[in-house]
């Protein structure tokens, strides 16, 4: 654990002491070396499931893929932000990279925590850098209202969780994930216990987000700069899924009945947000709503509590993290050139940027779950486990899959095909940096096709 956490903390002096000329090169190299070191976590040697570096920090096969994803994303975020942060004063550039590095530090400590209360503190701490990134470096004036939505939705959901955790600590005397899984609380069918059950999960359902409490997400995504959108889609939403998986272990007897309305909301949300995507004109908003749709499937897979559901959920979380991050990068490259997120104003880009059209095509196919990509593997596992739970769910999940294919193709056709307007003929060409960014998103996806047990080995 410390082999990644200490170099991440060492990033802070590196950011502030490096000369301005080498600032971006040094931070990208440093963060990429951290990402490469984190890959050693995937070599699993422990028999018990947990590999602890001390009492409070440990990794297990559930948190390891998410930790590696977090470390892999930091160099990509710095790489993606380089163009639009470069014109700013050096002190602001340093501040921006510092916020990204602090976000990674908090996320590593959240995913690596063995105490649930430490996980909760880090879960809340990630709000601060994200809020500053959205409200300071966002593109439009609405960024302040987006930041307010983001903060209040997340805080209103997570305060009941704090009370629920304090009650749990009072009744069990421990909040360690290592031991609490063997503890079955004496949950009787009383209103108090039902409210406690809801308190344990609502914070994570808001973070995922579940349809109905998702309104903060499109606002935050649309207003955030590219690094903010990438980290929100790729890792911060996954904090919700990870927290749910950790908490569901001990909520067992009550979950059988109480999970029904949430599963229905999640499945209905897949259809509703997919339909919203078909009507979007704003590129970033479309990608943000598609995130809600995918995370609805993940929520359904976690809430029915079967090994297949958990496996499918973690596979889909990792795959969706990489693919949606790539889509936001592509949307940003188009925005930096045309200065508009409206798809109809920047059509026919395939004629000007043919290689970028290939990246768009691959990212859209990955988003609609093309075989043999891990997106399809996760979706199929969740759909089949939902079908075995209730055959009627196939109507909702099947329609959701069709709508996903529909809006993915709509996004590709609107942005890449069609007649090229005269005002986009003189756009500046793409940089090698941007092509490298796309390749670095695709490499892990392709590697996971060849070795999927890196994600789902924890179930067996």
Q: Are residues 62 and 458 in contact, defined by beta-carbon separation less than 8 angstroms?
A: yes
- Structural domain contains residue 241: yes
What is the rounded CA–CA span in Å between residue 334 and residue 33?
Answer: 29
Within this chain, do residues 114 and 231 fall inside the same structural domain, yes or no? yes
The boundaries of the domain holding residue 171 are 1-41+53-252
The answer on 429 and 405 residing in a single domain is yes
How many Å apart are CA 28 and CA 26, to the nearest integer? 6
204 by DSSP, 3-state: which? Answer: helix
CA-to-CA dists, residue 345 to 327, 403, 406, angstroms: 18, 24, 21
**Residue whose structure tokens are 């990134």:** 133
Q: Which residue among 222, 252, 282 closes a domain?
A: 252
Please report whether residue 413 resides in a domain: yes
Q: Identify whether residues 270 and 231 lie together within a single domain.
A: no
The three-point CA angle 76-210-454 to 5° equals 45
Q: At what angle do helices 143-172 and 191-207 cross, to 10 degrees?
A: 140
CB-CB contact of 134 with 52 (8 Å)? no
Supply the pLDDT for residue 48.
66
Per-residue pLDDT at 398: 95
Residue 356: inside a domain, yes or no?
Answer: yes
- What pLDDT is attached to residue 460? 41
Residue after which a domain boundary falls, among 200, 234, 252 = 252
The domain total for the chain is 2
Residues 442 and 401 in one domain: yes
Do 313 and 220 lie in one domain? The reply is no
- Is the residue at 48 inside a domain? no
Q: What is the pLDDT along the chain (460 residues), one digit of tens a residue?
A: 888 999 999 999 999 999 999 999 999 999 999 999 999 888 876 666 788 778 889 888 889 999 999 999 999 999 999 988 999 999 999 999 999 999 999 999 999 999 999 999 999 999 999 999 999 998 888 899 999 999 999 999 999 999 999 998 988 888 888 888 777 666 667 888 889 999 999 999 999 999 999 999 999 999 999 999 999 999 999 999 999 999 988 887 778 888 899 999 999 999 999 999 999 999 999 999 999 999 999 999 999 989 999 999 999 999 999 999 999 999 999 999 888 888 888 888 888 899 999 999 999 999 999 999 999 999 999 999 999 999 999 999 999 999 999 999 999 998 888 888 888 888 888 899 999 999 999 999 999 999 888 776 555 4
Separation CA 30–CA 105 (nearest Å): 14
Domain boundary among 252, 282, 302: 252
Q: What is the pLDDT of residue 46?
A: 67
Same domain, 227 and 273: no
Q: Is residue 46 part of a domain?
A: no
Q: Are residues 221 and 290 in the same domain?
A: no
- Pull the structure tokens for residue 235: 């890792």
Asked whether residue 284 falls in the same domain as residue 428, the answer is yes
Is the residue at 415 inside a domain?
Answer: yes
Residue 52 in 3-state DSSP?
strand
- Asked if residue 150 and residue 85 are part of one domain, the reply reads yes
Return contacts of 197-200, CB within 8 angstroms, 24+ apart: 197/251, 197/254, 197/255, 197/258, 198/160, 198/258, 199/160, 199/161, 199/163, 199/164, 200/161, 200/164, 200/165, 200/247, 200/251
Same domain, 139 and 23: yes
With a CB cutoff of 8 Å and minimum separation 6, the contacts of 125 are 106, 110
Closest CA to 122 of 62, 63, 183, 40: 63
Whole-number pLDDT of residue 374 = 94
Which residues on neighbouring strands pair with residue 342, listed in sequence order?
A: 282
């Amino acid at each position: 654990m410390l082999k990644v956490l200490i170099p991440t903390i060492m990033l802070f002096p590196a950011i502030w002491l490096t000369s301005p000329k080498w600032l971006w090169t040094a931070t990208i190299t440093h963060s990429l070396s951290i990402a490469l070191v984190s890959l050693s976590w995937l070599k699993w040697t422990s028999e018990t499931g947990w590999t602890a570096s001390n009492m409070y920090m440990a990794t297990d096969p559930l948190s390891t893929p998410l930790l590696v994803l977090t470390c892999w994303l930091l160099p990509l975020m710095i790489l993606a932000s380089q163009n639009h942060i470069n014109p700013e004063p050096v002190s602001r550039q340093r501040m921006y990279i510092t916020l990204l590095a602090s976000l990674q530090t908090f996320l590593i400590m959240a995913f690596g925590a063995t105490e649930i209360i430490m996980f909760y503190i880090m879960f809340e701490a990630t709000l601060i850098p994200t809020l500053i990134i959205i409200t300071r470096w966002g593109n439009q004036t609405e960024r302040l209202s987006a930041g307010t939505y983001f903060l209040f939705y997340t805080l209103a959901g997570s305060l009941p969780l704090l009370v629920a955790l304090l009650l749990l600590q009072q009744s069990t005397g421990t909040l360690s994930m290592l031991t609490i899984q063997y503890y079955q609380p004496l949950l009787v069918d009383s209103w108090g216990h039902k409210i406690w059950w809801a308190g344990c999960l609502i914070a994570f359902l808001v973070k995922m987000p579940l349809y109905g409490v998702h309104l903060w997400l499109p606002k935050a995504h649309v207003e955030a700069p590219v690094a903010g959108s990438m980290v929100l889609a790729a890792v911060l939403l996954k904090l919700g899924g990870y927290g749910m998986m950790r908490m569901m272990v001990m909520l067992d007897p009550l979950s059988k009945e109480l999970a029904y309305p949430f599963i229905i909301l999640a499945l209905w949300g897949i259809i509703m947000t997919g339909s919203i995507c078909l009507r979007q004109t704003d590129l970033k908003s479309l990608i943000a709503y598609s995130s809600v749709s995918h995370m609805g499937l993940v929520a359904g897979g976690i809430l029915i509590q079967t090994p297949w559901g958990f496996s499918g959920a973690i596979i889909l979380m990792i795959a969706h993290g990489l693919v949606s991050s790539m889509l936001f990068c592509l949307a940003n490259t188009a925005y930096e050139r045309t200065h508009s997120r409206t798809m109809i104003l920047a059509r026919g880009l395939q004629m000007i940027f043919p290689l970028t059209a290939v990246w768009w095509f691959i990212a859209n196919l990955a988003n609609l779950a093309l075989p043999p990509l891990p997106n399809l593997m996760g979706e199929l596992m969740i759909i089949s486990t939902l079908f075995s739970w209730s055959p009627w769910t196939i109507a909702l999940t099947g329609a959701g899959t069709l709508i996903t294919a529909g809006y993915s193709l709509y996004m590709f056709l609107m942005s890449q095909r069609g007649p090229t307007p005269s005002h986009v003929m003189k756009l500046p060409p793409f940089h090698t940096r941007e092509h490298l960014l796309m390749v670095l998103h695709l490499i892990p996806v392709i590697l996971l096709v060849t070795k999927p047990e890196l994600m789902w080995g924890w179930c067996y």
